[in-house]
Structure 1
Amino acid sequence: MGIISFQGARSKTKKQDETPIKVSDYMTKDLITFNPNQSVMEVIETLVKHKISGGPVVNERNELLGIISEGDCIKQLNESRYYNMPIDDARVEKFMVKNVETIDGNINIFDAANKFLETKRRRFPIVEDGKLVGQISQKDVMKAALKLNSQHWRDL
């Protein structure tokens, strides 16, 4: 006599979308941006006021030109002191990082986390059709992790 199983049929597991948790779902869209002609002192005031560590530099068409950070501003402060130069004349375009690495808004948030680890960057701008549409930061990735904490990580 054969073995009889009383276990019911198992439901098939749902196939997950390849990128169920996209960067675009967690990126910041309402960004504080800077323009290349702004003074570094204005940037410093904005960074301190809004408690941020940097931001994208865009032109009038919202095209990404670079990123300016606290470190870039401190470098300018140090140079102005060392060379006894007035800080009011310092413009963003001279101190911003121009070669900016971006990230695709459609990639999985965990792939973005790996990119943060590999590059040691704090933020990545997201550009679509040549225009800045958002920014993902390490903090945004951590927010995503908290939000997903109740779900099964392996299923993601």
Structure 2
Amino acid sequence: MNEKDLGSAVAKEIMTPFVISLNSDATFENVINTLVENRITAVFIHDPKTNDYYIISQRYIVKFLKRDGLKSINLAQTSVKEIMKGPIETVDVQTPVETVIRFMTEHDYKRVLISENGKATGVISTKDIMKWNDTYFFKPAVPQILFFVDNLTSNLIGRHIFKKNIQDEVQDDLIDIYGGALNSISIITNQLIKESGKMTHLMKDKRAVLFEPRDQVTGILICDFNSVDLRRKLIAATDLFCK
């Protein structure tokens, strides 16, 4: 994944591209050995008959042992079916990263299984998300142009140019200084935002374009990188403009 892909990053681009798993006929001993040997905190369980996937994490192991596992006569040979949770929902490789993060947050998941055509192909963990955020969202970023567009007419109703952050020669009445990045603002506002309702940013001409739609107005920020800090500032600026 590179900077131009930030606006459309999908699960396949940030996932760990392999899955450590055991079959559903595995034992507790197999699980412990797999966790230790691979230095991981959870393992996926695959049922070849149904093609369903389950999961066993350290947390589930502790709960099992506390419940009745320690009383087992032959703990090592306990079936994983007595410990595993699921079947779990997989996430398609083409799912936007933002959707994956939302899914993990809503379900309080620390990891999700990524699949392609029904086959598990990778894993996204909170560690993968943090690496991605650190690489892309938390880069030092500077704003370049701030716009406010009327959603009904697509007319430009507010603008501020951060001239000190732009190397190009800029005139106050020059709108499309980025070679088309701003020529299509009306199309973006009318079609993409209204159709998706969830568009937050895209990459255009090696720049990030951040959107903050409201009922009547959309705030649009052109900057060098997408970042959490600028996202928050755009939200605050749009709220202030709409008052």
* TM-score class normalised by the smaller sequence: 0.7 to 0.9
- 1:67-118 Cα deviation digits (max 9, x unpaired): 111122223333222x343202211122111230222221221222222221
* Counterpart residue identity of residue 33, structure 1: S
The answer to whether structure 1 residue 137 and structure 2 residue 128 are counterparts is no
* More contact order relative to length (CA 8 Å, sep ≥ 6): 1
The share of aligned pairs that are identical, in percent, is 24
> RMSD of the TM alignment (CA)?
2.8
- 1:14-65 Cα deviation digits (max 9, x unpaired): xx87962111101112221111111112211221332211122124589343
Decide which structure has the larger Cα Rg and report it: 2
SS in structure 1 of the partner of residue 21 of structure 2 = coil
Equivalent in the alignment of 1:80 = 69
Unaligned runs of 5+ in 2: 140-223, 232-243
* Counterpart residue identity of residue 95, structure 2: I
Equivalent in the alignment of 1:23 = 11
How do 1:10-49 and structure 2 match up within 5 A?
20-49=8-37
Alignment check: 8 A CA contact 1:35 1:57 kept: yes
TM-aligned CA distance change 1:132 to 1:64, over 3 Å? farther
- 1:99-142 Cα deviation digits (max 9, x unpaired): 30222221221222222221111111112222111111111111
* Counterpart residue identity of residue 117, structure 1: T
How do 1:118-129 and structure 2 match up within 5 A?
118-129=106-117
Unaligned runs of 5+ in 1: 1-15
Report the more deviating stretch, 92-101 or 21-30: 92-101
How do 1:67-106 and structure 2 match up within 5 A?
67-78=55-66, 79-81=68-70, 83-106=71-94
SS in structure 1 of the partner of residue 109 of structure 2 = coil
* Counterpart residue identity of residue 119, structure 1: H
- Give TM-score, length-normalised by structure 1: 0.75
SS in structure 1 of the partner of residue 76 of structure 2 = helix
Alignment check: 8 A CA contact 1:40 1:73 kept: no
Cα distance in 1 for residues equivalent to 2:53 and 2:19: 15
TM-aligned CA distance change 1:90 to 1:19, over 3 Å? farther
SS in structure 2 of the partner of residue 34 of structure 1 = strand
- Give TM-score, length-normalised by structure 2: 0.50
Which structure shows the bigger proportion of residues in strand conformation? 2
Alignment check: 8 A CA contact 2:19 2:120 kept: no
Equivalent in the alignment of 2:145 = none
Cα distance in 1 for residues equivalent to 2:28 and 2:117: 29
Cα distance in 2 for residues equivalent to 1:141 and 1:40: 29
How many residue pairs align between the two structures? 140
Alignment check: 8 A CA contact 1:40 1:90 kept: yes
Cα distance in 2 for residues equivalent to 1:141 and 1:57: 23
